[in-house]
Amino acid sequence: MWSSVLTLWLIGGAISTSEITLPLSVKFGHGLVTFSEETNGVFYTISEEDKPTIRSTFVTDESSWAKSDQEYSVTDCTTDEEACLIFVVNDVTLVLTREVSSRVGYTHASLNATSDNTTVGTCLELVDGVDWFGGPEQWTQIWPVQNDQWNYTAYYTKEDDAVAIAEPYWVSSEGTYLYANPATSLFIDQNHLHDGFLCLYAQNVSPYRARNYTSLEYWIGRYDDPKTAHEAAVEKFFTKPTDIPDEQMIALPIWSTWARYKVNVNDSIVREYAQEILDNGFNHSQVEIDDYWETCYGSLTFNTSDSKFPDIKNLTDDLHDLGFRVTLWIHPFINVECDEWYAIAESAGYFVKDESGNMLTTWWRGENASLIDFTNEDAVTWFSARLTALKESAGIDSFKFDAGEASWAPEPAVLTGNIEESPGILTYQYTRAVAAFGTAIEVRTGWQTQDLPIFVRMLDKETSWTIDNGLPTLITTLLAMNLAGYGFVLPDMVGGNGYINSSSTLTEYPSKELFIRWLQANTFMPSIQYSFVPWDYDNETVEICRTYTDLHEEYAPTIIEAMNALVANGTPVNPPVWWLDPKNSEAFNISDEYLLGEVILVAPVIEEGAVTRDIFLPSGTWRDASYSPYQTYEGPTWIYNYPAPLEILPYFVEASYWEELGKDTTSETTSGGFTLSSSPTVLCASVILALTAKLFN
């Protein structure tokens, strides 16, 4: 039996109703809703046969719960098509509906208070043994997410905690999804105010603008497994991409100046960088000129001094002759000291203002700046026209668009459009405005913009081995973004950004081992982005990196197939392992493997010094693509102590797809967990070499 137990802690004056006594059970669709009063408020339980148990809680400010007797009313509003109940206590109304015709599907809940200073919410109990996935992109991206902690914070796109994507969606290993209406003054609290609960609240305070009511609307979907639940959620809530990003960016790596050079970039450095790429035999889609090319931040004008870019068109022409496209870093701010352009935008009303009229904000390259208002059509036209002119005059092919999170605006921001969509609408309109520059752009944020055929870059990663925004989060962020509907993921630069105390001039290079393992983890993701370079290490690093860069290009058609599947039916480009085994409890906690479509499983080494790893293979027939004779495995199974010295990326190809690719079809078949022992000469030699290298390191 499934029971969703929800507590309602409510505030407000009593209303005149016909008195009912709790507990009370009322028919609801194919089950019952039971209302009961306990110390903290009013619980309700929805009970249905053959459904797992979920415990949730409706909450408001607990200290405001009236201790005196309450008056309640329950109204049955069921129709032939829809089960419906209305429960009222004080000034708060709860409406529950669901389709009568189906035993699977969703329950829709709407919690409304007539007062604008009431906080209402719902809390979902994170039951032991049930794994949860989804939620926002974040700095410490754990997978699954039920042990995460959020301390009552606004749920919107923001720089804090690296929340560049904030879709209000979660799905469980039992096949339950939770989705909240994005047009909500939404706050999140997890394992903080109520340990063991994920809580969503509606509260009309900054960064949200005031409303004359408080409302929280959400859906709980009930399906047989997480894959089926996710597919249903995608159909109901997400928009699918209209196309795929630029295919050259998919197949060939981007080379950015940022991590290697930071702000120390100029004409001669870009030329040397491009020539090094060619001299070392690496392919390329484009070279990207990152930060510190403008005369001032927001001018969109190249610094043409002798020490920077004296003739940018000559530079881009020469790069084009070498076979490179050239892209340019762009941001949506204008710093106050950028006098000419700041004055134009200020006088025209192109900046975001808060309710007091303030338009100043702070960002990582300016203590006094203002943000262009992308909900203002005239501001968008002005910004886009300046970019178009720059593109044509400088010979730029495309752009890397930075920032865009709503938190950069002065708060609460006064924006054009539906007040219920503020401030998220700022991210929405920013990404749509810049997407007009074509499929070869990249952004780093999203809010209800899954339909755009552009790359969405992960936020900057740290050069580390840890879950604190280091290498392990390259995989978990990939999975989280895919589950939020953003499958065109641009992983951050190979090796991370090399930051030293967030300095824009100092750089800490990744170790050789971290650099290679990072590239291997990146190989079957949608694109590769270099900045640090293999030839800064040694010849072995160059050869290993060239191998995996070429392997990525070899499988680019497979990546494109997976992207087209996302366009057609919403299937993630890089799903979690449980996608192919959605009822296997072992699959739910695999955070260091990922899939490409449904045909390739990737199991990178992400632990420093490791030369073996255990690998879980989900249901299906799999070919080991890393070692001849390409052994066949029947999943689900574990491979223990799989040898993975520095030059080896463990990956497996679904057997029928392996044949479709025309690969070697001879091998032995193995099932069940065991220690890998095929091809002993090759494997033993690899492990001995790896262990020797580890010893001497």
Q: What is the 3-state secondary structure (H, E, C) of 33-77?
A: EEEEEECCEEEEEEEECCCCCEEEEEECCHHHCCCCCCCEEEEEC
152 and 171, same domain (yes or no): yes
464 and 543, same domain (yes or no): yes
Is the pLDDT higher at 16 or at 495? Answer: 495
228 and 295, same domain (yes or no): no
Q: What is the CATH number of the domain that holds 212?
A: 2.70.98
Confidence of residue 8 (pLDDT cuts 50, 70, 90): very low
300 and 193, same domain (yes or no): no
125 and 166, same domain (yes or no): yes
Structural contact between residues 245 and 455, judged by C-beta atoms closer than 8 angstroms: yes
Q: Has residue 677 got a pLDDT over 50?
A: no
Mean pLDDT to the nearest integer, 374-397: 99
Mean pLDDT to the nearest integer, 77-96: 89
Residue 31: the pLDDT is 80
Model pLDDT for residues 176-200, shown as the tens digit of each residue: 999 999 999 999 999 998 899 899 9
**How far is C-alpha 668 from the geometric centre of its chain's CA atoms?**
39
Report if residue 242 sits inside a domain.
no
Residue 673: the pLDDT is 45
Average pLDDT, the chain: 90
Model pLDDT for residues 470-492, shown as the tens digit of each residue: 999 999 999 999 999 999 999 99
- Split into its structural domains, the chain has a count of 3
Q: Has residue 13 got a pLDDT over 80?
A: no
Residue 36: the pLDDT is 76
Nearest Cα neighbor of 143 from 690, 668, 618, 588 is: 588
632 and 558, same domain (yes or no): no
232 and 253, same domain (yes or no): no
Q: Has residue 553 got a pLDDT over 90?
A: yes
Residue 68: the pLDDT is 47
Residue 6: the pLDDT is 40
Classified as helix, coil or strand, 82 is strand
Residue 73: the pLDDT is 86
Structural contact between residues 185 and 206, judged by C-beta atoms closer than 8 angstroms: no
Model pLDDT for residues 575-602, shown as the tens digit of each residue: 999 999 999 999 999 999 999 999 999 9
Does the bond joining 491 to the residue before it have cis omega, within 30 degrees of 0? no
Query: Would you list the DSSP string of 477-525?
Result: HHHHHHHTT---EE---TT----STT-SS---PPPHHHHHHHHHHHTTS
Report if residue 184 sits inside a domain.
yes
Confidence of residue 458 (pLDDT cuts 50, 70, 90): very high
Residue 669: the pLDDT is 67
138 and 259, same domain (yes or no): no
Q: What is the CATH number of the domain that holds 592?
A: 2.60.40.1180
List 97's β-bridge partners, or say none: 84, 108
369 and 407, same domain (yes or no): yes
Mean pLDDT to the nearest integer, 27-36: 82
Residue 69: the pLDDT is 55
Confidence of residue 91 (pLDDT cuts 50, 70, 90): confident
Q: Has residue 450 got a pLDDT over 80?
A: yes
Residue with tokens 């699959």: 587
Report if residue 9 sits inside a domain.
yes
d(Cα 143, Cα 675) in Å, to the nearest integer? Answer: 26
350 and 370, same domain (yes or no): yes
Residue 485: the pLDDT is 99
Which of 237, 269, 295 delimits the end of a domain?
237
d(Cα 219, Cα 224) in Å, to the nearest integer? Answer: 16
634 and 561, same domain (yes or no): no
Report if residue 256 sits inside a domain.
yes
Model pLDDT for residues 331-374, shown as the tens digit of each residue: 999 999 999 999 999 999 999 999 999 999 999 999 999 999 99
Report if residue 264 sits inside a domain.
yes
Residue 32: the pLDDT is 82
* Contacts of 129 by beta carbon, 8 Å cutoff, 6+ apart: none
Q: Has residue 251 got a pLDDT over 50?
A: yes
Confidence of residue 57 (pLDDT cuts 50, 70, 90): low
Classified as helix, coil or strand, 670 is strand
Q: Has residue 672 got a pLDDT over 80?
A: no
Residue 44: the pLDDT is 72
Structural contact between residues 398 and 438, judged by C-beta atoms closer than 8 angstroms: yes
Model pLDDT for residues 202-242, shown as the tens digit of each residue: 999 999 999 888 999 999 998 999 999 999 999 999 999 99
Residue 56: the pLDDT is 59
Structural contact between residues 384 and 433, judged by C-beta atoms closer than 8 angstroms: yes
381 and 300, same domain (yes or no): yes
Q: What is the CATH number of the domain that holds 447?
A: 3.20.20.80
Which of 518, 539, 569 delimits the end of a domain?
569
Report if residue 287 sits inside a domain.
yes
**CA max distance for the chain:** 84
Name the pTM for this structure.
0.93
Q: Has residue 609 got a pLDDT over 60?
A: yes
Residue 157: the pLDDT is 98
Residue 679: the pLDDT is 39
The residue range of the domain holding 495 is 247-569
Which of 206, 237, 268 delimits the end of a domain?
237
Q: Has residue 303 got a pLDDT over 90?
A: yes
Confidence of residue 61 (pLDDT cuts 50, 70, 90): low
> Could you give the angle at which helices 539-554 and 556-569 cross, rounded to 10 degrees?
40
Report if residue 421 sits inside a domain.
yes
Mean pLDDT to the nearest integer, 95-114: 86
DSSP E strands in 283-360: the ranges are 286-289, 325-330, 333-335, 353-354
Report if residue 540 sits inside a domain.
yes
- Least confident span in 67-76, 290-299, 483-492, 624-633: 67-76
Confidence of residue 130 (pLDDT cuts 50, 70, 90): very high
